[in-house]
Structure 1
Amino acid sequence: MPSPAAGHFSPRRYYRTALMAFFFVMGLVFASWAIRIPDIKARLSLGDAALGSILLAAPLGEMLAIAPTAWLLGRIGSRHGIDCALLLMPVCLVLLGLAPSPALLFAALLCFGFANNMLNIALNTQAVDVEILYSRSIMATFHGMWSLGGLVGGLLGAAIAPQGIAPLPHFCAVLCLVLLTLFSLRHWTLPRAVRIGGRQKAKTSGRFRMDAYLLVLGFIALGSMATEGAMYDWSSVYFADVVQPGEALVRVGYVVCMACMVLGRLTADGLVNRFGVALVLRLSGLSIAAGLSLAVLFPSLVPATLGLGLVGYGMASVVPLCYSLAGKSTRVPARVGISLVSSVSFLGFLGCPPLIGFLSHAAGSLRWAFCPIIALGLSIALLVPVLRRLRA
């Protein structure tokens, strides 16, 4: 494997290429779990409320990973943090396929969530530094590769599941692919943090506190993360129980949502560079609200699919743009800014999927349990003017 100094690529192109590949396989791993949730639910004979309780484990593990990951990256750097997390996450995926009981599934999902957010923070910390090297918005493209991986993982799962292939061999194949990618590209990552522009070098042992700017970023990201959690965990179940298009089309809503998320993220950087981050964030929130309204009010195949497509496009750029803004804060290092915003935003990821399960159980239908997400989309649009004033 050539070093970043070899060939016609500039070093920053190597860094960007490696990160794009790692974001891709991270999305592939996560989607491989999400697309097989209906199969694991059926294998363990779980109801909606029981599944909602178990799904709480993943965002809980992600919350538990925030502080340790920020501490670890301050000592070993994002490059080695990526190595550790990209080894751990697919191993935990295999444990999900092995889990023989709800209790062990909860434990495996807790570890999976921890590894997922450890990798999330490490990749985004390095992505902020690579974006600084480019002097323009490229963060959404990285997350676009995550969504592309999610789309590919969803399509593979949708093709594999009807053939009667169990989740375990599916997850083992994903593990092999991730390990091959990691060991092929791990030397292409950025070796150290970028210290340019307004970012100040903070003491490793210093304490950092949330300010109003980071808090509002966290709440904006929370609206999107809550929506993402609902789509990953419940979109296929919603189609199976409410839309009822037949087994062959049960996962079409998830796949369309992920496809539109890919499109949104791959086009977001160009929109931000041309129109500004505020307008893109505001339109994203309105798209989420409109899409969920369409899917809830008209729960048949075509409008529900179009609605989830709008949701996917709306939630595409919110989190990467919030991470980019947090990572460029002059008050804290990138890893700390991203961790602080994650600590707020993952409350949505933590609470929304189980809340939907409980609301569905109480109401007797999953359909109306999606209604709170409409308000979350509107809240993103309403918070953008506040963010602009704080940023100014």
Structure 2
Amino acid sequence: MQERNLQRISLSTYFLISGICFSSWASRIPTIKDNFNFSDEQLGNMLMIMPASAIIGIPLSGWLVSKYDSRIPQQFAFVFYAISLMLIGFATSLLVLILALFLFAVSIRILNIAINTQSIFLQEKFEKRIVGSFHGLWSIGGLLGVLFTTLMLQLDISIQAHFLMIAIFIFITIFIAYPYLIKNDKAIGGNKFRLEKPNKYIMLLGLMLFFAAICEGGMYDWNGVYFRDVVKEEVFTYGYVLFMICMSIYRLTIDKLIDYFGMEKLYFLSAILIMSGISIAIVFPQFWPALVGFCLVGIGVSGLFPMTFILAGKAKKYSTGIVISIVGTYATVGMFLGPPLIGYLAEAVGLQKAFIVFIIGGFMFIPLTIAVFNHLKKI
């Protein structure tokens, strides 16, 4: 088999297990909320630990991908990712939970930069687009994770046993796949980040990822709670399952859709789908309308990350790793800021009304898309 195909399979495996790990955590948030008897506001406070922790990973992740081949920080980040997931499951005190969430957030920050840097470099070895397929596999991993969570809930398996099984699976997988990752991808130039006036193009892409992460991250963390507390569905993972199915299908086809329709039209479509899907779930908080709404949102958010990372690869000011680290910073803040924001609003006005945040996030892609593509036309 060609070396590039082995590298693609290996990197695909990392995207897949990353999705499994994250969705395992996200789909168990209602369990954690019950175990610690958190109110919506208290859960929001707890989730706020993650953006605060991820900020620490901002300079660290950028330095690591510029100092070493991206596969090295990627491997270490995945090891700590699995360890922190286990700690979350076994936490019996607030202190342990806080420390586990801190490690979890920093690990996510580093591995996201590393695997997306790998994907951009690997894309250069292929004529056809492949970046979207990696994000599609992340979504499939997310779907597998939430399906496994649903099984664990049906069998009344403890969160401790659940997260331990996921961690063991991750350890085995990453040590099998590691030797086939891209080597020697450290950029020779453009590795020094300079504190100066922000590059407009990079800043616009960062804002795109910020709002994409607010919508996507908020849906991950509050999807199950919404189905349980607002829709009153006992098996609260149903909405999450359909959300991930729609994301997976769309992301697996995003590369071809980009070639056929172009990114600009797909960004506008994403904005419309996010706003309409959330509106349906808010206005009609019953089982089937909420499922349809979350399905539309899943399609809407699915293309935002892969398309924006592709655009990030066009930036010339810094090396690919540094650019992805910069725009990834916006994504990390949005991914972890959205969930606690929803929690605070839910405590004040109710979870149903708090979901209006997602409508605002979806709307922001209209002016941002116009600004980004107007900028590209001038280059």
User: Would you call these one fold, judging by a TM-score over 0.5?
Assistant: yes
- Could you say which residue in structure 2 is the equivalent of 1:234? 222
Question: Contact between 1:208 and 1:336, CA under 8 Å: does it hold in 2?
Answer: no
Displacement, 1:372?
A: 1.8
From 116, 129, 151, give the equivalent of 1:159: 151
Note the 1:134-213 alignment, pairs <5 A. Answer: 134-193=126-185, 201-205=188-192, 207=194, 210-213=198-201
CA distance in 1, matches of 2:60, 2:231: 41
SS at structure 1 position matched to 2:69: helix
- Could you say which residue in structure 1 is the equivalent of 2:210? 222
CA distance in 1, matches of 2:206, 2:104: 23
- Could you say which residue in structure 1 is the equivalent of 2:283? 297
CA distance in 2, matches of 1:39, 1:206: 41
Percent identity of paired positions between Structure 1 and Structure 2: 33
SS at structure 2 position matched to 1:243: coil
CA distance in 2, matches of 1:102, 1:317: 36
From 37, 46, 52, give the equivalent of 1:45: 37
* Aligned residues between the structures: 376
Question: Contact between 1:61 and 1:114, CA under 8 Å: does it hold in 2?
Answer: yes
- Could you say which residue in structure 2 is the equivalent of 1:379? 364
Cα RMSD over matched residues?
1.5
CA distance in 1, matches of 2:256, 2:80: 34
Gaps of 5+ in 1: 1-8, 196-200
CA distance in 1, matches of 2:31, 2:357: 27
Displacement, 1:187?
A: 0.8
CA distance in 1, matches of 2:195, 2:184: 21
SS at structure 2 position matched to 1:121: helix
Larger displacement relative to structure 2 (136-145 or 42-51): 136-145
Q: Is residue 255 from structure 1 mapped to residue 255 from structure 2 by the alignment?
A: no
Question: Contact between 1:290 and 1:310, CA under 8 Å: does it hold in 2?
Answer: yes
Go from structure 1 to structure 2 and tell me whether the alpha carbon gap of 1:387 and 1:179 turns closer, same or farther (over 3 Å shift). same
Give the alignment's TM-score, normalised by structure 2. 0.96
Note the 1:1-392 alignment, pairs <5 A. Answer: 9-193=1-185, 201-205=188-192, 207=194, 210-245=198-233, 247-248=234-235, 250-363=236-349, 365-392=350-377
Displacement, 1:206?
A: 5.3
CA distance in 2, matches of 1:208, 1:390: 22
Structure 2 residue identity aligned to 1:71: W
Question: Contact between 1:73 and 1:81, CA under 8 Å: does it hold in 2?
Answer: yes
Gaps of 5+ in 2: none
Larger displacement relative to structure 2 (23-32 or 279-288): 279-288
Go from structure 1 to structure 2 and tell me whether the alpha carbon gap of 1:194 and 1:273 turns closer, same or farther (over 3 Å shift). farther
Displacement, 1:163?
A: 2.2
CA distance in 2, matches of 1:207, 1:110: 27
**Cα deviation digits, residues 101-160 of structure 1 (max 9, x gap):** 233212211110110121110000010001121133211110111110000000000110
Question: Contact between 1:287 and 1:314, CA under 8 Å: does it hold in 2?
Answer: yes
Question: Contact between 1:260 and 1:312, CA under 8 Å: does it hold in 2?
Answer: yes
Displacement, 1:388?
A: 0.5
Give the alignment's TM-score, normalised by structure 1. 0.92
Displacement, 1:382?
A: 2.5
Displacement, 1:194?
A: 8.2
**Cα deviation digits, residues 71-97 of structure 1 (max 9, x gap):** 011112101121111111011100101
